[in-house]
């Protein structure tokens, strides 16, 4: 007597008729069955908890099938009749078709798609006019931007500069860098010198409203410097900052717009918002750590684009102006920044303002900054 055993290769399949069962032929000449044994030759249903099925069958009277494609063999693929005269004859199961499974890197966002090459560093210099250096932090891509317009209306003493620190992506910073300077200059031409403060304000507000029409998320802090007819007009919305060296003494020309400022917190609360402390930072609606800027559609009721502006006449003791994102100011004080920049810009035969910008960025990184950092240095003496 022989026995056919269907052994499951996977606990997922419970039917022995599956193609994932292997059939073994075992001679039973040495096995004795008691009348009460569950393995008696009489048919019995297998235990539901057992992964094995034992089936006994009579020796066939004809030849054993060798074609797995025939209807009779396909119906009995899991249990194969084995003749007593040839107990070694075994019909193996047909290998299932190969599955083509796409191979992809695992990520929380699904399959990884190609992305544009990241720019880790940006630098640009116009000798005697400005130097700017930007370095990416630990973000996936650089969100800081800058702009510079020289020789406005053919006048070498007129210019507009800007640093833009994006959050929630770089779209708002890109938009501001491309449009804010133009909008400011357009308003200045309309209104004239006596309304220059209001002209800059309208430039900021127009840029903000235009960006909101783009239906794009994110926002940007901004700091700009308009130089026109010997006058320096510095404006900001957010925590980008402008610091001037006045005979080696640092003088901040802007004040950071953060929810921790009492006047900013009062303004937000008056408008029905709230400010709370999250992980050591004061945030608007528990979300944004700045209280003014371009964009931020979801918080527009409280995050306004209206800038604060400082206007001064440029004097000989005004050496240079530093515009920078908070990636610098969070780790480097105003006076430290001026002291380091002066080493490369004053009292030397060949000034190296670009090197000064890089030194400031490196100092911030060495102190643990993981943010994007942008630094622009503008000599002021040439604009007197």
Rg, Å, the chain Cα set? 38
Q: In terms of pTM, does the model score above 0.85?
A: no
Distances (CA, A) of 136 to 117, 121, 139, 208, 374: 13, 6, 7, 25, 9
Rounded CA separation 21/156 (Å): 86
Any idea where the domains of the chain sit in the sequence? Answer: 1-95, 121-257+312-383
Other C-beta atoms closer than 10 Å to the C-beta of 93 total 17
Average pLDDT, integer, range 146-154: 94
Other C-beta atoms closer than 10 Å to the C-beta of 189 total 11
With CA atoms as reference, report the closest residue to 357 among 144, 160, 156, 175: 144
pLDDT band with cut points at 50, 70 and 90 for residue 93: low
Q: Is the pLDDT of residue 39 over 70?
A: no
Are 222 and 320 contacting, i.e. CB atoms less than 8 angstroms apart? no
Rounded CA separation 204/225 (Å): 13
**pLDDT computed for residue 66 by the predictor:** 41
pLDDT band with cut points at 50, 70 and 90 for residue 368: very high
| Least confident window among 58-72, 91-105, 153-167 | 58-72
Q: Is the pLDDT of residue 49 over 90?
A: no
**What's the maximum distance between 2 C-alpha atoms anywhere in the chain?**
117
Other C-beta atoms closer than 10 Å to the C-beta of 211 total 25
Q: Is the pLDDT of residue 179 over 50?
A: yes
Q: Is the pLDDT of residue 113 over 90?
A: no
Are 199 and 191 contacting, i.e. CB atoms less than 8 angstroms apart? yes
CATH class (in words) of the domain with range 121-257+312-383: alpha beta
**pLDDT computed for residue 116 by the predictor:** 35
Summarised one tens digit per residue, pLDDT across range 334-351 is 999 999 999 999 988 899
Rounded CA separation 19/73 (Å): 12
Average pLDDT, integer, range 96-104: 51
Rounded CA separation 363/316 (Å): 29
Distances (CA, A) of 116 to 3, 113, 146: 64, 10, 20
CB burial readout 149-184, b (16+ within 10 A) else e: eeebeeeeebbbbbbbbbbbbbbbbbbbbebbbebb
pLDDT: is 257 or 2 the higher one? 257
DSSP state of 304: B
Q: Is the pLDDT of residue 38 over 70?
A: no
Q: Is the pLDDT of residue 7 over 50?
A: no
Rounded CA separation 184/113 (Å): 39
pLDDT: is 13 or 316 the higher one? 316
Distances (CA, A) of 282 to 219, 263, 265, 285: 18, 14, 10, 9
Percentage of the chain lying above the pLDDT 70 cut: 69
| Least confident window among 92-106, 137-151, 179-193 | 92-106
Percentage of the chain lying above the pLDDT 90 cut: 62
């Amino acid at each position: 007597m022989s026995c056919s055993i269907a052994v499951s290769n996977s606990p997922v399949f419970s039917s022995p008729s599956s193609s994932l069962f292997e059939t073994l032929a075992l001679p039973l000449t040495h096995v004795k069955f008691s009348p009460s044994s569950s393995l008696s030759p009489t048919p019995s249903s297998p235990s539901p908890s057992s992964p094995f099925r034992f089936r006994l069958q009579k020796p066939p009277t004809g030849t054993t099938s060798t074609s797995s494609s025939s209807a009779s063999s396909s119906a009995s693929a899991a249990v194969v009749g084995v003749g007593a005269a040839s107990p070694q004859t075994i019909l193996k199961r047909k290998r299932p078709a190969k599955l083509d499974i796409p191979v992809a890197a695992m990520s929380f966002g699904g399959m990884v798609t190609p992305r544009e090459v990241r720019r880790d560093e940006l630098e640009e210099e116009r000798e005697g006019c400005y130097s700017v250096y930007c370095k990416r932090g630990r973000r996936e891509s650089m969100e800081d931007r800058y702009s510079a317009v020289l020789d406005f209306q053919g006048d070498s003493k007129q210019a507009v500069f800007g640093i833009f620190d994006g959050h929630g992506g770089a779209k708002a910073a890109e938009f501001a860098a491309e449009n804010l300077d133009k909008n400011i200059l357009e308003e200045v031409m309309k209104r004239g010198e006596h309304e220059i403060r209001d002209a800059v304000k309208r430039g900021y507000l127009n840029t903000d409203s235009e960006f909101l029409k783009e239906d794009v998320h994110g926002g940007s802090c901004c700091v700009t410097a308009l130089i026109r007819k010997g006058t320096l007009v510095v404006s900001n919305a957010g925590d980008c900052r402008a610091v001037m060296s006045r005979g080696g003494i640092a003088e901040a020309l802007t004040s950071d717009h953060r929810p921790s400022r009492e006047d900013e917190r009062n303004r937000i609360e008056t408008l029905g918002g709230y400010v709370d402390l999250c992980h050591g930072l004061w945030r608007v609606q528990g979300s944004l750590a700045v209280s003014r800027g371009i964009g931020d559609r979801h918080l527009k009721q409280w995050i306004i684009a209206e800038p604060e502006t400082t206007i001064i006449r440029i004097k000989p003791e005004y050496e240079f102006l530093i515009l920078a994102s908070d990636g610098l100011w969070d780790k480097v004080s105003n006076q430290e920044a001026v002291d380091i920049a002066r080493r490369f810009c004053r009292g030397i035969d060949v000034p190296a303002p670009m090197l000064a910008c890089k030194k400031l960025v490196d100092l911030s990184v060495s102190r643990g900054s993981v943010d994007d950092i942008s630094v622009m240095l503008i000599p002021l003496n040439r604009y007197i």
